[in-house]
A and B are shown apart, each in its own frame.
Chain A
Amino acid sequence: AQSVTQLGSHVSVSEGALVLLRCNYSSSVPPYLFWYVQYPNQGLQLLLKYTTGATLVKGINGFEAEFKKSETSFHLTKPSAHMSDAAEYFCAVSEYNQGGKLIFGQGTELSVKP
């Protein structure tokens, strides 16, 4: 069965520092890949997604992610963290012809120190 692993349940960075949140998936067939952000007591908002084409995907709020098939990874990065980036981040995958249901990682809580 497809699974998603997010390394590190908590990541802390200083304001202005690089943000790197790791995501690996288990499928042998490249799935569709997503990163969502969740602010406290709110629903999930899509940051970016990879379906086909260019493997470097740019999203909202300055985030980007690179699909690496050989590493089965889809790590999320942002060059310079902002205080407003503090939130929970979820990586998710969906397989073709599976009805679109999303399989989520366990989440990474990002803290940004002033």
Chain B
Amino acid sequence: NAGVMQNPRHLVRRRGQEARLRCSPMKGHSHVYWYRQLPEEGLKFMVYLQKENIIDESGMPKERFSAEFPKEGPSILRIQQVVRGDSAAYFCASSPSRGLRAGNEQFFGPGTRLTVL
């Protein structure tokens, strides 16, 4: 059973360009979470999605950032007009069901390391 896949693993963009980060959850998982890890910091929650729905986007910056999880295909985190402060590692995690009533674990992908020049 393949784990959570993220691509690309490394992405370099110039200021003002767009960055698209992809996440394929584990087979059978319909819940996806995105987290951002800035240098020397812990991970910060960004957004929680189910298929075709954004459930919680309380951690997303108000501008330039968007996320989707279509019925078919991977989840996409999109950053428009990137700035140097967007340089970070972006991690995706997937879970088989909502919440943690049963203590469901989130399985993390290897991350995409975005560098903005």
Interface set of A (CB-CB < 8 Å, partner B): 4, 32, 36, 41-46, 49, 51-52, 90, 92, 94, 96-107
Q: Are A103 and B45 interface neighbours, CB within 8 A?
A: yes
Q: Is the interface of A mostly helix, strand, loop or mixed?
A: loop
Q: Are B43 and A98 interface neighbours, CB within 8 A?
A: no
B2 in the interface (beta carbon within 8 A): no
- What are 26 A-B contacts with C-beta separation under 8 Å? A4-B42, A36-B108, A42-B111, A43-B111, A46-B105, A46-B106, A49-B103, A49-B105, A51-B103, A92-B43, A97-B99, A98-B99, A99-B48, A99-B56, A99-B99, A100-B95, A100-B98, A100-B100, A101-B48, A102-B45, A104-B42, A104-B43, A104-B44, A105-B42, A106-B41, A106-B42
Q: Are A43 and B110 interface neighbours, CB within 8 A?
A: yes
Residue count of chain B within 8 Å CB distance of chain A: 31
Residues of A within 8 A of B106 (CB): 46, 100, 102
Residue in B42, B95, B100, B104 whose beta carbon sits within 8 Å of that of A96 in the complex:
B100
Q: Are B43 and A94 interface neighbours, CB within 8 A?
A: no
Residue in A36, A101, A107 whose beta carbon sits within 8 Å of that of B33 in the complex:
A101
Residues of A within 8 A of B4 (CB): 43
Interface residues of B in 21-67 (CB under 8 A from A): 31, 33, 35, 41-45, 48, 55-56, 59
Shortest Cβ gap from B84 to chain A (Å):
21
Residues of A within 8 A of B45 (CB): 101-103
| Chain A residue with the shortest CB-CB distance to B6 | A43
Shortest Cβ gap from A35 to chain B (Å):
12
Residue in B41, B59, B103, B108 whose beta carbon sits within 8 Å of that of A32 in the complex:
B103
| Chain B residue with the shortest CB-CB distance to A91 | B42
Q: Are B110 and A99 interface neighbours, CB within 8 A?
A: no
Interface string of B3-27 (1 = CB under 8 A from A): 0100000000000000000000000
